[in-house]
Structure formats: C-alpha cells, structure tokens
Structure 1
Amino acid sequence: ELSEVYGDDRANGAELRAIGTGRTRRFDADIVAAGDGFAPQLELARLLGVPIITDPALGHIRPERTIDGRTPIVGVWIAGDAGGLGGAEIALCQGELSAAGALDYIGRTDPGDLSKPRQNLERANRFQSALWDLYRAPERMTPTGATILCRCEYVSATTACQAIAEGAHDPAVLKRLTRIGMGRCQGRYCLPQALRLLDEAGYATSPEALFAPQIPARPVSIGALSAEKPEWGGHSESAPAMRPGRQLDRPLALKSADLVVIGAGVTGISAALFAARAGASVICLDRGQVNGEASGGNAGSLHLQLLSWDFGNKAVGDGSLQLRTLPLQQESIALWQGLEKELGANFEMAITGGLMVAENSKQISFLEAKVAAEARVGIQTQVIGADDIRKIIPAISDAIIAAAWCPGEGKINPLAATPPLAQAARAAGAVIEEFAPVSGIVREGQDYIVDTPRGQVSAQRIMIAAGGWSFQIAQMLGASLPIRGAPLQMIVTAPAPPLVPCLLAHADRHLTMKQNASGSLIIGGAWPAATGTSGQSEILPESLEGNLWVAAHTVPQVASLQVIRSWAAMNIDIDGAPLIGPLPGFDGITVAATANGYTLGPLMGREAAAAALSGRLRQDLEAFSMTRFT
C-alpha cells in the first residue's frame, strides 16, 4: 500500500509498504497516481429520494435496495454497482430482475421464469462475500497533518481537524467552515475521510445527515442547462421543517438569563453579541448550529440599491417600506466594515459597486424612476450608458444599453463572517447553545419559561430571531407573526477568468451575480426552491434552468462555464421590509427578522438587542415594527 508521497513543493517519489510484512520501499517519481477504492454513486439515487444506509460488510454508504434492485421509492430500481459494489455478474442479474420489476410496475408483460437469475444472483453474492472476507484490505490510515483531504478545495487534514475541534460536528458545518466538498467532485472523494475524522472525534454521522443532494449531479455546461422561463412576482412560501441533525443530551449551561435569543443566524448572533456587551446575561438557542440555515446559505450580496422586484409593479405593497430600508442597509454595511476591523477577522468583504442593467427604453425609464426614488432617501445611484458599463464589465451582452450604478454595493462571505461574530459573542459572555430546539414557551409570573429537550431556561425577555421559523416560535405563545419561509436557490460555477468585477443585477429579470476570490461565479436572484420531505431545501430544475438563462443572456461568456454545484436555503418572506420591535400583547418579547437579511443582519441584531433591554425601539425603526400589520 502507498504509505507516503515525499517531496517539498512537489512530488519527488513514493513509499510503498507491504501489507503482510510491513517492509517499505521507496521509488523516485515525478507523478504519483494512486487508486482510492470504489464506492457507489449516490447523487442520482438521493435526488430521487432513495434512503441511504451504511453497508455492513464494506463500510461505505450506499442506497437502500433489496437484492433484486428494488428501492423503498415506488417505481425506482437500482441495478449494479450504483447500489453497492458487487461486480459484473451481480449487475447482470440485478439488471434482469430490475427490468422485470419495472415491466410489471407499468403493467406491460409477464417476465416469465426468474428463478435462474435469482439463483445466479444469490450465488454471485455468496462469492463476493467470500472474496471480500479473504482479501479484505487493512484499515486505511487516518489522514494527518498536511495530507490533502479535499483535492478540489485543497483542504488539509489539519484544517479539518481544527474545524472539528472548534465545533464542526457534522458534515454540513465542516463543509461550511472548511469548503470540504464544495469543488467539482462535490465530496465524492473527500466525504468518506471527513466522516472518518468526525467519527474518531466522537461525532458519528447518520447517513440522513450528509450533505443535501443537489443538481446537477456532475459538472454540466450552463449552455446545456439554461432555458428561458417567465418572470413572476412575490415569493413561493414553504413551511419550514426540521431537517436531520444531531441530538445532544448535555443540559443547557444556564437555567436563567436576562435575555433568551431564539435563533443563531446572523441576526440572533449579533443580538447576543451586543446584548452581552451591554452587560446582560444572554443565552442563544438554536435547533441546529450557528449560521446553519439562511445566514450560512445565502449568496453574500451586500445590497444598497433596490432590487428590481422591490420597486414598481413587482414590489409588495407600494414599495415605500422597501425604499425606507435602504438607509438601514447603508448603515449595516458600514457596521459590517467596522466589525471586520474591530475583530481582526477576514469577512472576505469588498465594496465593488453594483450594476443593474437594462436592455430597452422601458427598462431605462424604470431605472431612472428608481434612481430618483433612491436619491430621496440619500442613496447614491446613477444611470450610466453602454460605454461606461463596458468599462466596468467588458463581457456584458451587446443587448445591454444602460444601467443603474451604485458604488456602495458589494459582497461578503457569510461562511467567513458569522463565525467571528459568534466567537465575539462568547467572548463577551453570551452562551450559545446549538442543537437546542425550542419546544415550548409558557408565562410564569414575570418570567417566560423556554422548554428544550435539554432543559428549561427562564427569562423576562425573549427575542425571536428564528428566520423563516419565527412564525412557529410565535405560535408557542399563542401569537401570530407575518413571517414565512421562502426557500431560494444559489448556483456556483467552475472558476473562470475575471468576468464580473462587481455585483450584477437586471432591471426586469430575477438575477444577482458576482465573482468570488477563487474565480467562481455565484448566481442567484431569488429563484424559488422547495422544501423536501427530509426538511432540507431542494433545487427546482425549472429554477436552475431559468436562473442560468438570465445569467448567460446578460453575460454571454457565462454559457461556456460549468455549473459545479447548487444549493437552496430558507429565506425570510415578510413584505419586502424587515420586522423589528416588541410583539404586541406580550411584554418582554422582541421580534427581529430581516429582508435582504445578510446585509441587514448585524444592524438588526444590535438594534433588536437595544430594544429588548431598554424596552424602547429606535425612532426611525418604528415604521418596521408590528404596528404596520395591526
């Protein structure tokens, strides 16, 4: 077996070790090619909803199926190595039996006598079992030190182990903190070793808690996937469900606090930080992990000008609240900048400016009206022509003739920005309890008793900052909040040459696009996703196709790029504007929910914390309180 690849900044050779004797031998080499074993391809089966299990004999994860290929999903069969490694004879027999099952399912024809393929399959399975017993390879060494665990993103074992030690106790969090599994292979090669490191650290992972399957299952060119779809208004609401996750038995660290914050996204974490700095005892509860839902799953745009669907006919209501939100977004972007400097962190934040492009006179008129409205609330934007646009984005489509330019827009990496806020909150004295879902809230005298499976905590003040799940938390009090979940999709391309140096949007299409430090384009624009039966948000093929069409229509070179991954996250749907302030009829209950959530996150958290502790909401925020609904 391969025991070491040696060299300095490149491979100079390899050391092989005899499995039986342990004797080693070195070979000088410029290139070392090593087989890493085989495992079933899971993505297509998981996209179809087939449950997955751990193979008891071989240890790898595989789809659940019977010996003849039938899965628990009606109408789905898996034949051959895609359902578990067995070789050609097993694949041949399973193919015949699966075909017979499929024909029977659609009522076509009698498959005839299947006793022979069944006998052959049983014999081949016995042979394979004996073969694996006789020639079972020794257990692989655990990756250590500088060993590269994820080749796509160049993540070492040391980096992964450090993240696990700092709280990445499941694959999804490990992925967010280290980028393991975010490259072209989507975790097919690095996931087994990542699971092994988690297991050895005491955090065994059930198959249901793996990365959510998303489309495409393999890198595909945008030109092959894109298709124009009709535009729409509003959001597609979805009832958020509980996704698979870990359960902890450890009791809560506090039994009482001055403030209980429910939700550990960017708003809740920011609230915990500023409340703790104000001297309050704070406990922040989340059913999952810090940054685990919308805050960690958004595209990282820092919006300052209005999005096209928040102005004019597409806007919810008359659009006035969305317009009044812009100065808050400007204030929050400045707060993000201040926090990055204060904490000595790297949020991967950049103020690049933003373009909203137009293709015809009607869209130009729309932009001119929008720019005039933004000027009335102090936001600097201007309409520029085609020549100026091409100085910023030379690759822009020839169809683009004008744009609204906002120099204050930019981008931030949510995976890099929220964790330092959580660290600062803990340093200020806040207690953050992950895997502590709130199961009930009752009033006892002056206090509220918050129930979780890990115990109770009492407080006179509660902040509901649970994003799309805030409605469910309010129901525990017998209250109703006008907050719903709206799952949205994001798409990432393979690294490309510089194409989009600023935030890019369209005046009449759902689109946001930016380019990250690695060269990948992040494509979004509020295209709807869905909530699957597992509780995880899922990409809709029609949204993927439509979003990609708009991107390639706006920047034609995008069509030649490959999509390497997509994901969906639960966004917040209110009325296009944030909701902050007291919950009427419930003393001590404060609500904090955002629109354009990541941009506004730290400001909403700070001001909600101040309102919760003082009982007073900042005057200019009164328009965003519950009074607008009552």
Structure 2
Amino acid sequence: MRLDTPGFSPLGPALTFRFDGEPVTALPGETVGAALAASGRLALRRTAAGAPRGLYCGMGACWDCAVTIDGRAGERACQVKAAPGLDVRSAPPGTPTPFGFDAAPPAEPEEHRPDLLVVGAGPAGLSTAIEAARAGAVVTVLDERDAAGGQYLKPLAAHAADRPDAQHRRGDALRAEARAAGVRLETGALVWGAFARDEVAALLRGRAALFRPHQLLLAPGAHERPVALPGWTLPGVMTTGALQTLARAGRVSPAPVVVVAGNGPLNLQLACELVEGGARVAAVVEAAPRPGPRAWRDALRMGLAAPDLAWDGTRYLLRLRRAGVPVLWGARVAACEGEGRLERVRVAAPGGERVLEAGALALHHGFVPETGLARALGAAHRAGPSGALETVTDEEGRTDVPGVAAIGDGAAAGGARAALAMGRIAGRAAARALGLDAPARAADRAALDRARAFQAALWRLFRAPPPAAPPDDVIACRCEEVTAGAVRAAGGTAVAARRATRAGMGACGGRFCASTLRDILGPAPGEAGFAAPRAPLRPVPAAAIWHPRPEAARERLYDAPALPRRWTTASPAPVPPDCDVLVVGGGVVGLSTALFLAREGRDVLVAERGEPGLGASTANAGSLHVQLLAYAFGDVGDPGPLAEALALAPPAVALWRELAAAAGETLSIRTEGGLILADTPDALDWLRRKTAFERARGIEAEVIGPAELRDLAPALRPGLAGASWCPAEGQMDPLRGTAALLRLARAAGARVAPGLEVLSLARDGAGYRVGVPGGAFRAGRIVNAAGPHAMAVAQMLGEALPMRLVVQQVIATSPGPPSLRPLVQWARRHLSLKQTDSGQLLIGGGWPGRLDEDGAARLIREAVEGNLWTAGQALPMLSGLRVLRAWASPNIHLDRGPLLGESARNPGLFHAITSNGWTLGPLVGRLVAEAILGRGGPPAAFAPGR
C-alpha cells in the first residue's frame, strides 16, 4: 500500500513496467522493489529449493530480492529504479543477457588520484569530506546508493515534501555543504576491492575505475543484525531499516497491517511513521524490559546530552499510545507463519504467547559494522560488545594501516550524531596528514563525547538479552539455505562450518549469517569466527572488471619455508599420548594417509595446526586433471620428470570414486571429459604433440576439430581451431570431498587433532620426539603431509626439499544456465574453467596471488581482471554473470613430480608432497601408507632423495 501522509506529493505521473508479465504501476524515482511492495507483491523470486523470497535488508547488501530485469540476472529490486517498459522476472533467464559493457575494454581501469578518498556517503563520510575539502584537499566520495546520505539521512525518492522533517532537512543541508565545499560525490559507485591503501577498485556508472588516493577513509556504514527464527525467510519479513526505507524514502508500506519488533528506539520511530501514513501497527514488540523507576538517571543523561533526541523518543511513545498501538515490553518474536508470505507473528511476552495477524514484520536487533574493506586491507579488528567485529582505531579514526582511517557505524556502531562528530575530527586529521592547515577543534571532541554519552545511556535504558540461537530446522544462511542444525553438526569455527556447509558462500558474502553462526557455534578468538573478506566485496558483473593482461607476468614463486597460518582454533589441543604414526597436516593428503593406515589397525594421529581441510584442500576448485596442464607441457614438447606423474592420474580418479562410495555420497564427481582449446593452427599443432606424448604414456587423449568441439561444448566461443579431448577428466566438490575424508579417517580409528601445532621434531631412538605447545610426545614414524608448510617440517630434521610455493587464485560466479559439462583449459594460456551442478562457474588456471608479510595469501587485482578476461574469451556467457568471490591460497610448485616415500637421511620420516594435490591426494596418501606398511609404495621416480 502507499502511505497517505499530508504534505507529500509524487514527483511525476505514474509509469508502468511488467513483473512476470503482469503490469505494475510505479512512481518516478522509486525502486522496482518499492513499486512491487506498494502493489502487494512481496514474493519476488524462488530459491534453488523452491522457497519464496522477497525484500529483506532493503539496502542492497543481502541480495535476497535479486530478480531478472530485461534479461539481466541478479539485479537487486531494492536498488534498481523503476522505468517505463521494464521487463522484471522472478526466475533467472534461460540465457543471461550481457551487462552491456564493451567487448574490448581498455587495458587499464580509469585512474583517479584524489588527495582523500572517502568510501561511504553517510553522515560520517560526508562530514569527513566537507572538513577535508574546506581545508583545501581534493576529495572524492564514493557511495553505492543513488543519493548521498546513507541510511539515516536518505532523501525522499519519489515524492516532494511541503514540510520535510528534521532528518530530511539535515540530510539536504549536508549534501549542499558537500557540494559547496567542492567535494566530488560519486553515487551509484560500487567499491569491489581494496588491495592497498592506494589501490581501491570500483565501478563508476558501470565502468571500471581505480583510485590511488594519498589518504583513504572508510565510512561504509552498517547493516542490521539478522535474527534467525522460524519463518524469518518468508516474504514480508524484513529488517526495520528495509521497511523504514520503504516508508521514509518511498512512502510505501508492504502491507496494511505491520508488526515492528526487536530492540531500540528505531522501531518506535518506524511505527510512528507507518501510523501517520495510514498503516496499522498491530504492536511494537520490544525485547528490553519496561523501564522502571531507576531509569530516570539514564533518561536525565540522555536529556542533557541530546535533548531533542530524548524528546523525540518521548513523543514516539505518546504518539503510539494515542494511536492505540501496544508496546509489548520484555517480549520477542517466537515465530513467523504463513503460506508463501507472512500472515501471522507469534510473540512470546511476559503475559504469555500472543498471535498477531500481520502482512509484514520489521525486525531490528542492532547493527553490524561493514568491516570488509578494512579487513581486506589488514587493519586490526576486535569483537565488540555485541560480538560483531569492530575496526581498531585511535581517537582520530586512524587504523594501524598507514594512511587508512575508519569511522562511523562501519567501524563501530555508535549512531548518527557520533558519526557526524567523528567525521569532522577525522576530516581535519586527514587534511593535516596531507600537510594542510586544519587544527583540531575542542567543539568537535565535545560533540563526540555528548553523542557517546547519549548512546551509552540509551542502550542502558534499552538493554535486552541477545537473540537466542535458532533451532536446528531454521535457516541460518539465507543465500545457501543452510540450516542451523547443519552448522551445529559441522562444529568447529565459523570458517570450518562455512567450508563444510557452504554457509556464508552466497551473494551477500557472509554478512548476514556471521552473527547467526556465532550464536550457534559460540565465540572464537580474534577473527577466527568470521569468514575472511573476499574480493569482490559485492557481486559485480564479470564483464565490468575484466581487462586483458599479459600472461608472461603470471608466475610468482616464493621461498617461504616458515609460512605462518592466519586461522586459529577456539582452544589449542592438549598434548596427545604417544602414537605409532604422526601425520603432520590435515589436508587431503594427510587425511588420506591416516585413513589407509588406520584401516590396517595402525595407531595414527593427524596433527593440524588449524582445522582439517582449511588450507589448499578446500581452497582449490576441485578439478580432476588427467592430462598434463596446458601450461605444464611447455614449448619444447617435453615436461621432463613431471610426466612420470601422468600414470598416477587415472587410478587417482578411480580412488576418489571408491572413497565417495565408502562415504555414501557422490561428492558431485563428474568425469565428462576435459578440453584444451586451440584458437590458432599453431596452437592446434602444439596440442597434437602434447596428446601424442600423453598417449605414449597411457593417457586417452585426442585432438578434435571445430565441429566436434561445438557438439561437446556449444556454449564456447565460435571460431576456435579445435581442442584436445581427454574423456577421463572432470571435477568434484572439494568441500564435500575433504569433509568425507575426515569422516572416513575418524571412522577408521584415526585420531585427528585440530589445534595441535608441531613445534619441533627430533630423533629419539628408533622414533621421534614431537614438541607441541604444552609439552612433547613420542611418535614411531612421521609423515610430512603439511602441503605448503612441508618445507618447515623438513627443516626441523635438517632436510631441504626441492619445492617452492605458488599462490593461485580461484574465482566463483553467480549461477548461470547449464551450459558447460567438460573441464576447459586453453592451449598456451592460463585458464581452468568449469561449471558446477549448481550453475556456478569456477575460474582458475594458475593466475597468481601474493604472500604478504605475515604469510597470508592475497589476491592481485590484475590477476583477477586478467583471469576473467581470458575466461570471457572462451565462454561468452560469462558476460551475463556476476563474480561472487575470488580467493587465493598457497600451493606447491614442483617441476620434477611428487616427493613421496621415506627419507634417506631420516629413517622413519616419510614425505607425502605433490602438486596437482587435489586429484592425486588420496592416491598419494595410499602410496605412502603402503610404504609405511612395507607393501611397496610410490615409484622410485618420486623418491624424496632423487
């Protein structure tokens, strides 16, 4: 329904677009989502499981309202403006329409070098920009919305107001001040990655841009804390911020009867605005208990710190009382019910359960800072009072990363008044860092102190118990439809649960399940309870950020024997008892070795410093390679000793199938062949030499022409000269594969110890003494299956291994229509391309990441852009998909084949080290186990001492 508040008038005559073929009336300036809500259409799409979904966050962060607009998949209904003739569909398109970017983009993004770049145009960002610009700095502000102001100071969208309220007036004034100060305001600007203080990647009006500022200030705001409870995914259930955006900016209510629930005065304001517009508020459900007589002290403090805000709160309560809206103190929503959309809200109140009939529910339980950019840059973070991560800053907003500041609710939730004051302080500090005259002002500090005092008193008054962890059958991750029970069954940290269940791997990037996962699993130290920020921080069209890159600059090898790890477990493992065999490393190779030894009755312990499978084993793309990689054969036509590993690949794939059967799963194993594309006659001749080399070593491979290639993979680009075809290649799900190996190893009797760090190894008679935190134990034999950390393990016993590290990246896209069954590579190019059963494309092929100073793997922007460009030249469909995330992980570089078997220098030490580790991992584990059992073992060509 449209709210009917006196003093508001539409900006223009109504327009019409179509939703699933039906006409929808909209007003100029309002979003597609607002127009659909005004017409009573709340179910906007269906999930992969068939569940209806609608508007949820209302600010473009959760992607739950993603629809298809004019054939473009994944457009956010809450962000796209309605326009005459739009064709909006709830279902994804059969063939995604390209996003309309140039087929031949410039070699580099458009570059900008402001003195100060501000990310976020809310109160904090605008006030910062104004102060710095007034001091003489050249300032650019980027914001994803179509107008500056943020959530608190957002302007009207489709109406004009005869008498704007104080909030609208303050927003208009702040925008005018920014323009007058000369601030460059770039709205509709999506910052998708921060790779350094002076390397911020963004889209401006759909075009790639790169910002290289002298100073960077992050003020991205916050999103609302989700509350997972029965029925919370029903259309009609949304955050208070989403409903307030509909009401304040669009003058729309999603239903005639609404329940507003959660915690805090924002709910009271929304309820009043709805009532004034003609909607009926069935109740305000407030989790905090009714303020008692002792609350007068905090009320007085609020009145002294901000009398206007204190009076606003009083007016809200009086207005609701006059309208007959009950405020249920000390109550909470127990469940949401309805068929296809919200119809009823069950409330647990002190007087007993109440059932409220309503078509919409607004839920608010506080805010979660948007720390993704600050975390991507490596700034220090801590868990705040609510458990959410907060950026650690000094009193002027500076982080521990030189030249980077973070303020406002995006650093730590503190309210709009604090954000405005802190922006003035940080803006002047940034100007001083640029050498400009901008002394600190005592008035700004006093305003910040008053704002903080008001917030402290306010939240003492509204102190409420945190939301309860959801029951097992409740969805915890909206994007991937993962239940709380699945997360509990996975256990461990949120990072481990994420990889075991895919919770947090959807379009929102984990923002809207991080708090819920913490509720379910409990707190973890540092950032271990939160998924690492991935670029892009928001899904972006692949074609918008791809650029041609020279492949000669691809390789980056590292000598890093003491590579540290970034994750920790909740508590270190205790010193274990002695064991027959100690396996160092809980990845696919280590778990497989332990499995095959335990099946033979050996007492085997797996020591994993982090959590099993959280390294390269689950960071790879799951390719099952049988033929030589396209970039491993070389121009000379002979890969050298690496070719000896060819014979291992077919039995390795067969072993994966055996393990899947033993685990009672398919593990999404598909062996529908592998292609290596050739785009020139010379490349095709090179493939002929390569396949002849492989056939001579028992690998089934052949060269096919254009017609056969079109039959096998019609979605690939036309005009290719041909390809090589290896029918035994394929792919599988590495997350499920690693989880299955862990279950099988434990079921066979292997002891797997997360959080057990091996600090030292020393000969002790016929065995080894193993030093760990807290003490030592004895192991008869050692298996070095530590992957990228294997060099450090070998060095403990005085050995140097002929291996190096390479950091490789993987890119995942949004789902597309089923189009590509084979695994695809490209002759003389670096590309690995596959489509999963869910429709996602996984893109890799050896493009590099980098190691930072503490050994963490980081993405390189140029590698992401180049990898996407190469993939787009192979598969035109990519131009209609979005990139969801990309990640980098250390991997092993061996140019002489695996290192397998017993050390000649240290009897009883067995190395289990291989590149192409995913495909070969279980077979390598079995070969090393057989060597320990005295049953042969690996071929001599792979002996560590060769």
TM-score normalised over the length of structure 2:
0.62
1:103 corresponds, among 424, 427, 431, to 431
Instruction: Assess, with a 3 A threshold, how the Cα gap between structure 1 residues 38 and 159 changes in structure 2: closer, same or farther.
Output: same
Letter of the structure 2 residue corresponding to residue 353 of structure 1: G
Letter of the structure 2 residue corresponding to residue 309 of structure 1: Y
1:183 corresponds, among 483, 489, 506, to 506
The 5-angstrom pairing of residues 528-607 of structure 1 reads: 528-533=848-853, 535-575=855-895, 577-607=897-927
- Counterpart Cα distance in 2 of 1:476 and 1:134: 58
Q: CA deviation at 1:11?
A: 3.7
Aligned position for 2:357: 27
Query: Quick check: 1:611–1:617 contact (8 Å CA) kept in 2?
Result: yes
1:63 matched to 2:391? The reply is yes
Aligned position for 2:706: 386
Q: CA deviation at 1:254?
A: 2.7
The 5-angstrom pairing of residues 396-415 of structure 1 reads: 396-415=716-735
Q: What whole-Å deviation, never above 9, does each CA across 1:255-299 have from its counterpart, x for those lacking one?
A: 2x2221111111111111111222322112111121121112111
Query: Quick check: 1:238–1:486 contact (8 Å CA) kept in 2?
Result: no
Instruction: Assess, with a 3 A threshold, how the Cα gap between structure 1 residues 28 and 92 changes in structure 2: closer, same or farther.
Output: closer
1:338 matched to 2:658? The reply is yes
1:4 matched to 2:331? The reply is no
- Counterpart Cα distance in 2 of 1:483 and 1:14: 62
2:605 corresponds, among 283, 299, 302, to 283
1:157 corresponds, among 464, 472, 484, to 484
The 5-angstrom pairing of residues 329-368 of structure 1 reads: 329-368=649-688
- Counterpart Cα distance in 1 of 2:782 and 2:466: 50
1:442 matched to 2:773? The reply is no
- Counterpart Cα distance in 2 of 1:12 and 1:247: 38
- Counterpart Cα distance in 2 of 1:440 and 1:280: 23
Q: CA deviation at 1:305?
A: 1.2
- Counterpart Cα distance in 2 of 1:516 and 1:7: 34
Letter of the structure 1 residue corresponding to residue 399 of structure 2: T
- Counterpart Cα distance in 1 of 2:840 and 2:934: 45
Letter of the structure 1 residue corresponding to residue 478 of structure 2: R
2:372 corresponds, among 35, 43, 51, to 43
Aligned position for 1:319: 639
- Counterpart Cα distance in 2 of 1:456 and 1:135: 51
Instruction: Assess, with a 3 A threshold, how the Cα gap between structure 1 residues 307 and 411 changes in structure 2: closer, same or farther.
Output: same
The 5-angstrom pairing of residues 503-522 of structure 1 reads: 503-522=823-842
Instruction: Assess, with a 3 A threshold, how the Cα gap between structure 1 residues 401 and 19 changes in structure 2: closer, same or farther.
Output: farther
Q: What whole-Å deviation, never above 9, does each CA across 1:360-380 have from its counterpart, x for those lacking one?
A: 111111111111101100111
Query: Quick check: 2:574–2:756 contact (8 Å CA) kept in 1?
Result: no
Aligned position for 1:140: 467
Q: CA deviation at 1:13?
A: 2.0
Query: Quick check: 2:572–2:756 contact (8 Å CA) kept in 1?
Result: no
- Counterpart Cα distance in 2 of 1:438 and 1:309: 35
1:463 matched to 2:804? The reply is no
- Counterpart Cα distance in 2 of 1:551 and 1:54: 39
Instruction: Assess, with a 3 A threshold, how the Cα gap between structure 1 residues 235 and 110 changes in structure 2: closer, same or farther.
Output: closer
Q: CA deviation at 1:135?
A: 2.4
Query: Quick check: 2:592–2:921 contact (8 Å CA) kept in 1?
Result: yes
Letter of the structure 2 residue corresponding to residue 197 of structure 1: I
Instruction: Assess, with a 3 A threshold, how the Cα gap between structure 1 residues 343 and 141 changes in structure 2: closer, same or farther.
Output: closer
Query: Quick check: 1:253–1:431 contact (8 Å CA) kept in 2?
Result: no
Q: Secondary structure at the match of 1:389?
A: helix
Aligned position for 2:809: 489
Letter of the structure 1 residue corresponding to residue 382 of structure 2: I
Q: Identity rate of aligned residues, in percent?
A: 37
Uncovered stretches (5+) of structure 2, i.e. residues with no partner: 1-260, 262-332
Query: Quick check: 2:518–2:529 contact (8 Å CA) kept in 1?
Result: no
Letter of the structure 1 residue corresponding to residue 498 of structure 2: K
Aligned position for 1:451: 771
- Counterpart Cα distance in 2 of 1:330 and 1:541: 36
Letter of the structure 1 residue corresponding to residue 859 of structure 2: I
Instruction: Assess, with a 3 A threshold, how the Cα gap between structure 1 residues 487 and 454 changes in structure 2: closer, same or farther.
Output: farther
Q: Secondary structure at the match of 1:217?
A: coil
Q: Secondary structure at the match of 1:95?
A: helix
- Counterpart Cα distance in 2 of 1:359 and 1:519: 26
Instruction: Assess, with a 3 A threshold, how the Cα gap between structure 1 residues 285 and 500 changes in structure 2: closer, same or farther.
Output: same
Q: CA deviation at 1:314?
A: 8.3
Q: Secondary structure at the match of 1:116?
A: helix
Q: What whole-Å deviation, never above 9, does each CA across 1:382-428 have from its counterpart, x for those lacking one?
A: 11112221222222112422111111000011111122222222222
1:193 matched to 2:516? The reply is yes
Instruction: Assess, with a 3 A threshold, how the Cα gap between structure 1 residues 614 and 90 changes in structure 2: closer, same or farther.
Output: same
2:591 corresponds, among 269, 276, 287, to 269
- Counterpart Cα distance in 2 of 1:208 and 1:97: 32
Q: CA deviation at 1:238?
A: 5.5
Aligned position for 2:180: none
Aligned position for 2:537: 217
1:301 matched to 2:623? The reply is yes
Query: Quick check: 1:268–1:284 contact (8 Å CA) kept in 2?
Result: yes
Q: CA deviation at 1:323?
A: 2.2
Q: CA deviation at 1:235?
A: 4.6
Letter of the structure 2 residue corresponding to residue 236 of structure 1: L
Which one has a larger percent helix, Structure 1 or Structure 2? 1
Instruction: Assess, with a 3 A threshold, how the Cα gap between structure 1 residues 234 and 46 changes in structure 2: closer, same or farther.
Output: closer
Q: CA deviation at 1:250?
A: 4.7
Q: CA deviation at 1:127?
A: 1.4
- Counterpart Cα distance in 1 of 2:429 and 2:364: 35
Q: CA deviation at 1:17?
A: 2.7
- Counterpart Cα distance in 2 of 1:279 and 1:61: 45
Instruction: Assess, with a 3 A threshold, how the Cα gap between structure 1 residues 14 and 264 changes in structure 2: closer, same or farther.
Output: same
Q: Secondary structure at the match of 1:528?
A: coil
1:14 matched to 2:347? The reply is no
Q: CA deviation at 1:340?
A: 1.5
- Counterpart Cα distance in 2 of 1:91 and 1:449: 56
Query: Quick check: 1:252–1:433 contact (8 Å CA) kept in 2?
Result: no
Query: Quick check: 2:555–2:848 contact (8 Å CA) kept in 1?
Result: no
1:416 matched to 2:744? The reply is no
1:94 matched to 2:422? The reply is yes
Which one has a larger percent strand, Structure 1 or Structure 2? 2
Q: What whole-Å deviation, never above 9, does each CA across 1:78-127 have from its counterpart, x for those lacking one?
A: 232211223332222222221211121122x1114522222211111111
Letter of the structure 2 residue corresponding to residue 231 of structure 1: E
Aligned position for 2:400: 72
Runs of 4+ deviating beyond 6 Å? none
Q: CA deviation at 1:35?
A: 4.6
Q: CA deviation at 1:23?
A: 5.2
Aligned position for 2:558: 237
Query: Quick check: 2:592–2:925 contact (8 Å CA) kept in 1?
Result: yes
Query: Quick check: 2:573–2:755 contact (8 Å CA) kept in 1?
Result: no
Letter of the structure 1 residue corresponding to residue 511 of structure 2: R
- Counterpart Cα distance in 2 of 1:434 and 1:208: 14
Q: Secondary structure at the match of 2:497?
A: helix
Instruction: Assess, with a 3 A threshold, how the Cα gap between structure 1 residues 429 and 602 changes in structure 2: closer, same or farther.
Output: same
Query: Quick check: 1:308–1:509 contact (8 Å CA) kept in 2?
Result: yes
